[in-house]
Amino acid sequence: MALCLGQVFSKDKTFRPRKRFEPGTQRFELYKRAQASLKSGLDLRKVVQLPNGESINDWIAVHVVDFFNRINLIYGTVSEFCSERTCPVMSGGPRYEYRWQDGDHYKKPTKLPALHYMNLLMDWIESLINNENIFPTRVGVPFPKNFQQVCKKILSRLFRVFVHVYIHHFDSICNMGAEAHVNTCYKHYYYFISEFSLIDHTELEPLCCVSALFSLRARARAHGQRRTLVVLVVLVVLVVLVVLVVLVVLVESSVPRVRLSFRCV
């Protein structure tokens, strides 16, 4: 039996305090709607689509904060296995290495242990989403012109957490029985960034096999649904034909036959 997210990922292991939406705000309502859609079991590709009449920037803001919270929770769970000894460099296997640069303390791309990199990353994201000039929460305050560019950068760097967790700590995730939750979170993230073209697909190469598998399963599921629909239509047509044949037979049997006789004169 699948465990709920709270049973798998302990909240006291959250890498950073969760960012919450202010009740009564439009963004809070959007967040509740998105969560309700997720829990309803709808196709994630449909869940990420912008609701009619809603602002795309509000929709992106809600998801950026939600992904920050959920990815933060995932990494917080495996962080005890991610030390300077086990992960001396922030990487995704031997082919991908991620260096930190923030233009402040690290003006040049700097090689760091994964745990240190994650600390800096979460601090950086938290400072952005708490900045009212970038993520305004007051009604009537517009988003800055570079809002989507900032979100693209955040989402791009959050992707690196997925890469590190999948390649270096997925055994630990599986041992906790949490792989289904991590897969669902990544699938949700992948469909969202694809829906709004928020990350260049070349950046997604480290997990291209995982993404391709999700896409293949989605297509297979859609194909299976179409095939099921065709079978149902054929069955309905056959049933209708059988009913028509039975009705014709009944009508013919109920009509008295007129016997004609001819006499030769």
We report the CATH number of the domain holding residue 29 as 1.20.140.30
d(CA 186, CA 133): 29
Using one digit for the tens of pLDDT, what is the confidence trace for 157-199?
999 999 999 999 999 999 999 999 999 999 999 999 999 999 9
What range defines the domain where residue 176 resides?
5-199
Q: Contacts by 12-18 with C-beta closer than 8 Å and gap 24+?
A: 13/73, 13/76, 13/77, 13/79, 14/72, 14/73, 14/76, 15/72, 15/73, 15/75, 15/76, 15/79, 15/118, 15/122, 16/72, 16/76, 16/122, 16/123, 16/126, 18/69, 18/72, 18/73
Asked, for residue 169, whether it belongs to a domain, the answer is yes
Structure-block tokens of residue 66? 């939600």
Asked, for residue 82, whether it belongs to a domain, the answer is yes
Measured CA distances, 115 to 85, 90, 159 (Å) = 10, 8, 15
Given a cut of 60, whether residue 110 has pLDDT beyond it is: yes
0.85 exceeded by pTM: no
User: Is 105 annotated as ligand-binding?
Assistant: no
User: Is 82 annotated as ligand-binding?
Assistant: yes
User: Is 169 annotated as ligand-binding?
Assistant: yes
User: Is 209 annotated as ligand-binding?
Assistant: no
Asked, for residue 135, whether it belongs to a domain, the answer is yes
Asked, for residue 249, whether it belongs to a domain, the answer is no
Asked, for residue 261, whether it belongs to a domain, the answer is no
Given a cut of 90, whether residue 261 has pLDDT beyond it is: no
Structure-block tokens of residue 220? 């297979």
Q: Give the total number of structural domains in the chain.
A: 1
Asked, for residue 147, whether it belongs to a domain, the answer is yes
Asked, for residue 244, whether it belongs to a domain, the answer is no
Asked, for residue 205, whether it belongs to a domain, the answer is no
